Structure 1
Amino acid sequence: MNNLSGRRHTALVVIDVQNDVVAGAHDRDGVIARIASLVDRARTSDVPVVWVQHSDEGLVRGSHGWEYVPDLQRLDTEPLVHKQYGDSFEDTDLGQVLSSHGVGALVVAGAQTDACIRSTIHGAFTRGYDVTLVGDAHTTDDRTAYGAPAPAEVIAHTNLYWQRQAAPGRSAAVVATADVDFEAPTP
């Protein structure tokens, strides 16, 4: 149903599950375990897994903090997109990677809910992709000291409003890890 002509395939996009990004994240271990499950299921279903990795002055490329958590291992055959902005499409080759696989629908998981996850799902949606957010496979850390709601509330609010997104020719959804069906045909 996406607005991208001829792109009938789905990809799992795993965003920024890096050591320093998720060090203090809400339900860190549970979220990482659910993402690992999604990765395994995507691979079994021959669905591309696209890894996104952030770097900036506080998250230095090549440092231990910049590396993906050891619980998640990218295969050499799986694309790795390096980014420096919240939206994983901004100034990266993510669009080209997805196009080369005929992808028009994204299943998104990772971190941080209130930063790179939100930026990327909105960026994908406005670019014409169908976007499914895995509601129990994204997380953020506690930013209440800066006036933000507690992490569980940030996650719940993001899940609430994303399931209500609408635009011509595109779909948005929120599903639990257990309900992701990589075998179902894309509309």
Structure 2
Amino acid sequence: MGKPAEPFGQALKCDGVTTLIVTGGETDVCVPATVMAAIDRGFRIVLPTDALCSAEDSTHNALLQFYRRRFSHQIEATTTVDVLDRWC
């Protein structure tokens, strides 16, 4: 969500979106960039931890711990099943 994504973030806010569910590859590269940019823009983040991956289990697990400890007010780490149960 860098400068080119500003209109996208603004459109989400205009539509009343307050929470983003982030999934994807490289828990320790792409995911934190997206998550931190979204937090900077005031979004709450839900991370289905079983819908994230990384080349290294150790860095994947370390980042999940970091999210839970440092950003517990902005980031909720949960499971895909939990997300589906609550949001669908």
Partner SS for 1:102: coil
Residues 96 and 138 of structure 1, relative CA distance in 2, 3 Å threshold: same
Which of 108, 131, 135 does residue 22 from structure 2 map onto?
108
Instruction: Give 3-state SS (helix, strand or coil) of 2:50's partner.
Output: strand
Which 5+ residue runs of structure 2 have no aligned equivalent? none
Query: Could you tell me how far 1:113 is from its partner in structure 2?
Result: 1.4
Structure 1 equivalent of residue 44 of structure 2? 130
Aligned partner letter, 2:75: A
1:112 CA drift (Å): 2.2
Secondary structure class of the residue paired with 1:173: strand
Are residue 177 (structure 1) and residue 80 (structure 2) matched? yes
> Whose helix proportion is higher, 1 or 2?
2
The 3-state SS of whatever aligns with 2:23 is strand
Q: Which has the larger radius of gyration?
A: 1
State the aligned residue count: 84
Q: How does 1:31-46 map to 2 (within 5 A)?
A: none
CA distance in 2, matches of 1:117, 1:111: 7
RMSD: 1.9
1:153 matches 2:29: no
Aligned ranges for residues 13-162 of structure 1 at < 5 Å? Answer: 89-90=1-2, 91-92=4-5, 93-141=7-55, 151-162=56-67
Is the Cα–Cα contact under 8 Å of residues 131 and 171 in structure 1 kept in the other structure?
yes
The Cα offsets for residues 12-70 of structure 1, whole Å up to 9 and x where unpaired, read as xxxxxxxxxxxxxxxxxxxxxxxxxxxxxxxxxxxxxxxxxxxxxxxxxxxxxxxxxxx
Q: How does the TM-score come out when normalised to structure 2?
A: 0.79
- The alpha-carbon deviation at position 159 of structure 1 amounts to 1.1
Secondary structure of 1:174 counterpart = strand
Quote the sequence identity (%): 26
Cα offset, 1:152, TM superposition:
1.3
Q: TM-score, normalised by structure 1?
A: 0.40
Deviation at 1:114, TM superposition (A): 1.6
Structure 2 residue corresponding to 1:165, chosen from 35, 51, 70: 70
Report the 3-state secondary structure (helix = DSSP H, G, I; strand = E; otherwise coil) of the residue aligned with 1:131: strand
